[in-house]
Amino acid sequence: MDLIQPELQQETTPSSSRAEHAGKRGRRYGLRDGACQAITQGSGEQYLSAFALLLHASPFQLSVLSALPQLIGTGAQLISVKLLQWFPNRKALISAGTVGQAVSWVPIVLLPLLFPEWGPWLVVSGAAAYFACAHFTAPAWNSLIADWLDQHERGAYFARRAQIIASLSFFALCGAGWVLSLWQHSTAARWGFVLIFAMAGSARLLSALALSPVQDVHPTAHLEAQQGFREFFRQNATKDFRRFLLFAGLMHASVLIAGPFFVLYILQDLHLSYFGYGSWLAAGILGQLLTLRAWGQFGDRFGNKALLSITGFTVPILPMLYLVSTNVGFLMAVNFLGGVVWAGLSLGLQNYVFDSVRPEERAKAIALYSTINAVGWSVGALLGSGLVEHLPARIEWAGVILQPASNLPFVFFLSGVLRLLVSFSLLGSFHEARQVERVPRQQLLRELPLVKPVTQFVVWTLPKLSR
């Protein structure tokens, strides 16, 4: 065949070379975007709830801060997917959304300072604008990046990107916590937030600049939105994918029953400093950093369903541990373990979507997945605020008295129970979406991040000790 069609080779080789070059440039942009995103998350997003709490936000307002931006962001994703039908320039959509994220930090930080009586609600409004822009870019961004990746290298690539995000977020979290702690006990505490939020906005501008040399050379963009969401869900979405969406949505609802209120527990009930709060957050980031690459390799080799099965039955334990102790070291260890587990769960959820649909349907599938998650996110956050208002702070049963620092550990415990019910009910209802290596469950457990290196160390050490 090579000898029969030399002219065809001459015509296709330059274009394939250009596509390969554009792919390398696009993958590099994905990593640089991840680095900028890490700074924005570590110095901005992670401290939005702390800023609202400084402005005397109530538990209900904290739950709205978690729920409303996600719902509005979901609407922005749906609009973005529709725009791809009439304006199939994925790069332009990503650039517009990224710049919008950078600009959104201005009202987030300035309006509450100008109108402090409305401070918490103004933070909610600014966060809604920020996350709307962030979600607006998601379908086009994921579709663009996925076009440059083979299905068997996605886990490793996104794990590497997430590892970059985790490492830089770790330093950004600690640095922002240190900056805030300088003003914590003064009347100028809000200026610390001005500084770290300005850094967050600047990082998004750098991400937009990193996109400028990237070229979109793949032909699938104009096909993204030809079919409606309802038709896609009914006709093209498999039964496994629909059940996966149900699992993801209910898991997010269960998680967000507790999620918005950890900041309240750490800062208000346990009276940790901003630096202590940042260190607690950083412990989770460190757990992600140490295990993301191993999780990515695990998912590429054994499948994302196996990854979800293991992490789905581990994540319920995490919030229950907050009933055990209020020791800061213990809480940081729990959040470190949480970072390990959530690194695998998040990677498995994301990559299962990529594996389950055709390339031209990825943007739509991602938007649908995000919509389900946002609905679950909002329901869980609002349900959690109701539990915070009504659960007692002291429980006595069969002579055993439980009286933690507040009723929040009971809310966290109920979140864990619901997570466990979701995993037991739904993880067995869908299957792996691609061909992967099949091994016994015991070997899967030996291949887990942190478990595998410890096992190898023990196997290497025992013969030496027995001599």
Helices 362-390 and 239-256 pack at an angle, to 10 degrees, of: 30
Does a structural domain hold residue 53?
yes
The pLDDT, as a whole number, for residue 5 is 40
Q: Taking residues 345-372, what's their average pLDDT?
A: 82
Q: Taking residues 107-119, what's their average pLDDT?
A: 89
What's the number of domains the chain is made of? 1
Q: Tell me the DSSP string of 310-363.
A: HHHTTTTHHHHGGGT---HHHHHHHHHHHHHHHHHHHHHHHHHHHHHS-GGGHH
Q: By C-alpha distance, which of 158, 154, 166, 159 is closest to 338?
A: 166
Query: Residue 212 burial by CB count (10 A; 0-12/13-18/19+): exposed, middle or buried?
Result: exposed
CB-based burial, 40-50: b 16+ in 10 Å, e otherwise: bbbbbbbbbbb
Does a structural domain hold residue 149?
yes
Residue pair 126/346 in contact (Cβ under 8 Å)? The answer is no
Q: Within 10 Å of residue 27's Cβ, how many Cβ atoms?
A: 18
pLDDT digits (tens, 9 = 90+) for 121-144: 999 999 999 999 988 888 778 777
Chain-centroid distance of CA 219 in Å reads 28
Round to whole Å and give the CA distance between 437 and 449: 17
Q: Taking residues 15-39, what's their average pLDDT?
A: 73
Query: Residue 272 burial by CB count (10 A; 0-12/13-18/19+): exposed, middle or buried?
Result: middle
User: Number of helices and strands (H, E) in the chain?
Assistant: 18, 2
Does a structural domain hold residue 11?
no
**DSSP reduced 3-state for 397:** strand
The CATH number of the domain where 101 resides is what? 1.20.1250.20
The pLDDT, as a whole number, for residue 208 is 86
Place of tokens 């079919």: 227
Q: Taking residues 419-446, what's their average pLDDT?
A: 83
Collect all residues with Cβ–Cβ distance below 8 Å to 180 and sequence separation of at least 6.
47, 50, 189, 192, 193, 196, 274, 275, 278
pLDDT digits (tens, 9 = 90+) for 304-341: 888 899 999 999 999 999 999 999 999 999 999 999 99
Round to whole Å and give the CA distance between 337 and 316: 12
Q: By C-alpha distance, which of 354, 82, 384, 363 is closest to 244?
A: 354
Of 3-12, 143-152, 286-295, 436-445, the least confident: 3-12
Q: Tell me the DSSP string of 261-281.
A: GHHHIIIIIS---HHHHHHHH
Residue 82 pLDDT exceeds 70? yes
Q: What are phi and psi of 381, to 5 degrees?
A: -65, -45
The pLDDT, as a whole number, for residue 102 is 93
Q: Taking residues 23-44, what's their average pLDDT?
A: 82
Residue 4 pLDDT exceeds 60? no
DSSP letter assigned to residue 257: T
Residue pair 385/59 in contact (Cβ under 8 Å)? The answer is yes
Chain-centroid distance of CA 50 in Å reads 19
The pLDDT, as a whole number, for residue 74 is 80
Average pLDDT of the chain to the nearest whole number: 81
The pLDDT, as a whole number, for residue 48 is 92
**DSSP reduced 3-state for 175:** helix
pLDDT digits (tens, 9 = 90+) for 360-412: 777 778 778 888 888 898 899 999 999 998 888 888 777 777 788 889 999 99
Of residues 345 and 356, which shows the higher confidence score? 345
The pLDDT, as a whole number, for residue 249 is 94
The pLDDT, as a whole number, for residue 29 is 78
**DSSP reduced 3-state for 466:** coil
Of residues 130 and 294, which shows the higher confidence score? 130
For the chain, give the percent of residues with pLDDT over 70: 83
Q: By C-alpha distance, which of 93, 84, 125 is closest to 108?
A: 125
Q: Tell me the DSSP string of 435-461.
A: ------HHHHHHTSTTHHHHHHHHHHH
C-alpha distance from residue 162 to each of 294, 342, 389 (Å): 12, 12, 36
Q: CA angle 125-128-133, nearest 5°?
A: 135
Of 257-271, 277-291, 437-451, the least confident: 437-451
Structural domain containing residue 243: 19-392+400-460
Residue pair 160/297 in contact (Cβ under 8 Å)? The answer is no
Does a structural domain hold residue 126?
yes
E-strand stretches of 353-434: 395-397, 400-402
Does a structural domain hold residue 143?
yes
pLDDT digits (tens, 9 = 90+) for 193-247: 999 999 999 999 998 888 877 666 654 444 444 556 666 666 667 888 889 999 9
Does a structural domain hold residue 296?
yes
Of 115-124, 263-272, 448-457, the least confident: 448-457
C-alpha distance from residue 125 to each of 52, 73, 98, 225 (Å): 12, 12, 18, 29
Does a structural domain hold residue 2?
no
The pLDDT, as a whole number, for residue 217 is 60
For the chain, give the percent of residues with pLDDT over 90: 29
Q: Which H helix or E strand runs over 74? A: helix 59-86
Lookup: tokens for 107: 């009202």
Chain-centroid distance of CA 258 in Å reads 16
Does a structural domain hold residue 14?
no
Of 145-159, 167-181, 182-196, 201-215, the least confident: 145-159
Round to whole Å and give the CA distance between 163 and 343: 9
The pLDDT, as a whole number, for residue 18 is 57
**DSSP reduced 3-state for 406:** coil
Round to whole Å and give the CA distance between 159 and 69: 26
